[in-house]
Structure 1
Amino acid sequence: PAYTSVRVNTLVTTQDKLVVALNAALVDFNARLQAQGRPTIAAVPHSSLSDVVIVPSAPRVTAPVDATTTKKIIVDRLCGEAVLRGSDIFARGVMCASSALNAGDRVLVYVDLDHSATRGSDAELHVGRKLCADAPPLNGVLSGDMYMQNTPSSVVAHVLSPQPGDTVLDMCAAPGGKTSHLATLMQNRGTLIACDRSRRKVLEMKAFFESVNLSIIVPIKILLDPPCSALGLRPRLVHACNLTELEQYSNMQRNFLWAAVFLLKPGGTLVYSTCTVNPKENEQMVAHALDAYPLELVGQSPVLGEPGLLNQGLSADQAAKVQRFDPASASDTMGFFCAKFVKTKSIRETTSSQNN
């Protein structure tokens, strides 16, 4: 995307104050842009979300680059994707580089997508050169005051709309970004249960929550963001996934969905979200939920995405109640999906009536 989205920790600061602090933190980055004769950037409040700030990337450099004389560095895929988000390059991600590199040198960055680079590799074998937007490095900036989170991911907690005093369950909670958002919307009052199958991830979440002073994380509302094929993640330079793996994700999601509906009390709210564009994990999963469980699909607020796809199990009215974010749309977001349900009766009642 041509911008970075950050979420405000409203327990310790405000959107306006964070905009001021972020612009102060961008002074050095803007000084570099000015030295190159390029326009500076400025953080701005999100037009619809009161706890999100948008940091635009600097415009692409259009001046020609001589690939034969400019020094080169080849990095692995993860490092390359991090660079697209504004990260500096560290030794761990370097596959090989031109000799005699010094601090401040201008370099061409190549990404090794097929793991073929070794020391002394010929960078000219790399094809598909692109000019990318220059995102500012924000990792660790204003830690505790903000959290880097894609805009669609920030929408999900608002759709669930937890209130102070609520009891909320966040299934598949790691790394904790959405969980911390739920806690701030609850103003740190109530009960928020965060679950994940990985003990390591749970311990990392606990440390993160403590670092941002969240104390209520120990359901009348459930956020289900299950493991998915992640076909909507950006930036993503390569994604290896086959049909069998896609089937496994949807089967796993059905199991999580059953558990969520079973735990949710009648009248409670369930929000289901994924970071994939695969209809089998999105619209078709919603159709399955409506067919299998006592759930009603309801409208959402705020609405920043587009309606769901038709001919994937949902009627036009139902498709209008879900949100689909398309990376190819004008909003320039990651791929994402969100649906909101209300449980109309207990599963036991439904099973009993079917047996009778």
Structure 2
Amino acid sequence: MSVFPKVSLRPEVENYLKEIFTNQEIVSLSKQEAEEKFETLLNHLAHPPSFTTVRVNTHLAAVQHVKNLLLDELQKQFSELNIPVIEHPDLPDILLIPVIGPRKDIKKQQCEAIVGAQCGNAVLRGAHIYVPGIVSASKFMKVGDVVSVYSDIKGKCKKGAKEFDGEKIFLGNGISELSRKEIFNGLPELKGIGIRMTEPIYLSPSFDNVLPSYLFLQNLPSAVVTHVLNPQPGEKILDMCAAPGGKTTHIASLMHDQGEVIALDKISNKVEKIKQNALLLGLNSIKAFCFDGTKALKLDMTKDPSGAPPFLPESFDRILLDAPCSGMGQRPNMACTWTLKEVTSYQPLQRKLFTVAVQLLKPGGVLVYSTCTITLAENEEQVAWALKTYPCLQLQPQEPQVGGEGMVGAGLSLEQLRHLQRFDPSVVPLQDIDIDSLRDAKTEDMIRLANKDCIGFFIAKFVKCRSTLEKNPQK
């Protein structure tokens, strides 16, 4: 059931997305059905997925052991509730935790706090509220008060305001850890928890310092990607746009930390995050570099013994290009202020990265391309472009196939569409999940729901059939 309005977009962006989801190939089936499905998608994007997904670091511990530790942790967090932890049958290192909600019996308090839209999204996924995310608080708010928390989805509330009458979405109640005066006193060192959520609309476990070496919080399709890549021990693998390292560390874990995983990102503090995650998870095969993936191809043929980028052509057995994208599939996302120019700016960058990836891949090697967006231009259109531009590439079926097939509208054949994975949350109704419904639910039904009611995402898998050294195709 919908408890929030659909994601708030600029009219130009909403019209652009509507044209995609009601394109000529789709509406040839049913225009009304296509329009209703699009509205359903916008509504789903504003709500959190039905499950929290965590990946077990199988390099350090067995899944069953970590599952037992996680059940103990959930018992501590939700002593009165018996929330199950489900093992995914097709993703052997993935655990699923149902999200309880929306809860409709939460009493709104007189004392209020307003948070920014991004902070509000995090609260709906189980986070507490850190001081930098608080935009406004009632003038009488003190330590220990029960506070009703709202998200300012339009970004209209002024920092430090004592009240706000603009459009705001109720997220639940929490306990204030600081007074209003302490929150807005301007001290930069105040970055800890400002409000501890006790009655959120959607109840998800907090993973702040919870089994940090054993668990990695990850959206379900993001975990599927690495299994589709299927890294093998001893291989040399490139993760072109790697931060914060979720997929990088997953690759190393699936390889049993045997081989070489090169992770690139062009922002230095993000590269440090990759290194921190590798250290935390006990993985030694990862080498992270602050480097622009579009420049990762070495133009002269002299070998660099340091192993640092740029790299010689055809150096890698497998390459993951989890490309920078418009991120329009992220959930929950109550508001996006991006202009149409910003939303459509990613296709050229993705093609530059893809061009480098093809040349860095060995003949017989695997290239997996993925995005966390729902647009045709960044997904199926990129596949059509790649197959036309690089005859050396063949589109491959994917294993595991958890998502749906690709979307029509980019001129791909039905067989090619079946080889793709598009995760579209609008294919299932929004769910009300409570403890009673969980008690009666079948495991296979919950897994089916988790596979569909997740973020919007896209995966394509290619194999390179022959060398590109003799003659590089035109860009």
TM-score, normalised on structure 1? 0.91
Kindly indicate whether the alpha-carbon contact (under 8 Å) linking 1:40 and 1:58 is maintained by their aligned counterparts in 2. no
- Aligned equivalent of 1:306: 404
Kindly indicate whether the alpha-carbon contact (under 8 Å) linking 1:266 and 1:343 is maintained by their aligned counterparts in 2. yes
- Aligned equivalent of 1:91: 131
The one-letter code of the counterpart of 1:92 is P
Provide the rounded CA distance (Å) in 1 between the counterparts of 2:103 and 2:71: 22
- Aligned equivalent of 2:242: 173
- Aligned equivalent of 1:12: 60
Provide the rounded CA distance (Å) in 2 between the counterparts of 1:143 and 1:349: 47
- Aligned equivalent of 1:333: 454
- Aligned equivalent of 1:291: 388
- Aligned equivalent of 1:279: 376
Higher relative contact order (CA 8 A, sep 6+): 2
What pairs with 1:1-356 in structure 2 (closer than 5 Å)? Answer: 1-31=49-79, 34=80, 39-63=81-105, 65=107, 67=108, 70-101=110-141, 105-118=145-158, 119-127=160-168, 129=170, 132-218=201-287, 219-293=316-390, 294-330=392-428, 331-349=452-470, 351=472
CA shift for structure 1 position 86: 0.7
Cα distance change on mapping 1:227 and 1:351 into 2, 3 Å: closer
Cα distance change on mapping 1:145 and 1:313 into 2, 3 Å: same
The one-letter code of the counterpart of 1:336 is F
Provide the rounded CA distance (Å) in 1 between the counterparts of 2:164 and 2:380: 43
* Range moving further from structure 2, 172-181 or 245-254: 245-254
The percentage of counterpart residues that share the same residue type is 40
* Range moving further from structure 2, 125-134 or 154-163: 125-134
Summarize deviations over 1:108-147 as a string: whole Å, max 9, x none: 2111233332344544433555773211211321001010
Q: Which runs of 5+ in 1 are unaligned?
A: none
2:286 aligns to what SS in structure 1?
A: coil
Cα distance change on mapping 1:120 and 1:200 into 2, 3 Å: closer
Summarize deviations over 1:162-186 as a string: whole Å, max 9, x none: 1111111110111110000000000
Cα distance change on mapping 1:130 and 1:101 into 2, 3 Å: closer
* Range moving further from structure 2, 112-121 or 217-226: 112-121
Provide the rounded CA distance (Å) in 2 between the counterparts of 1:228 and 1:64: 37
- Aligned equivalent of 2:25: none
Summarize deviations over 1:212-248 as a string: whole Å, max 9, x none: 1111113111111111111111122211233322332
Cα distance change on mapping 1:64 and 1:146 into 2, 3 Å: closer
1:272 aligns to what SS in structure 2?
A: strand
Q: Which runs of 5+ in 2 are unaligned?
A: 1-48, 173-200, 288-315, 429-451
Provide the rounded CA distance (Å) in 2 between the counterparts of 1:98 and 1:134: 25
Kindly indicate whether the alpha-carbon contact (under 8 Å) linking 2:153 and 2:169 is maintained by their aligned counterparts in 1. no
CA shift for structure 1 position 351: 4.7
* Range moving further from structure 2, 95-104 or 205-214: 95-104
Could you list the structure 1 runs, at least 4 aligned residues long, displaced by more than 6 angstroms after superposition: none
Kindly indicate whether the alpha-carbon contact (under 8 Å) linking 2:152 and 2:168 is maintained by their aligned counterparts in 1. no
The one-letter code of the counterpart of 1:339 is A
Kindly indicate whether the alpha-carbon contact (under 8 Å) linking 1:72 and 1:123 is maintained by their aligned counterparts in 2. no
Kindly indicate whether the alpha-carbon contact (under 8 Å) linking 2:422 and 2:457 is maintained by their aligned counterparts in 1. yes
* Range moving further from structure 2, 114-123 or 320-329: 114-123
CA shift for structure 1 position 107: 2.8
Count the aligned residue pairs: 345
Cα distance change on mapping 1:60 and 1:70 into 2, 3 Å: farther
TM-score, normalised on structure 2? 0.69
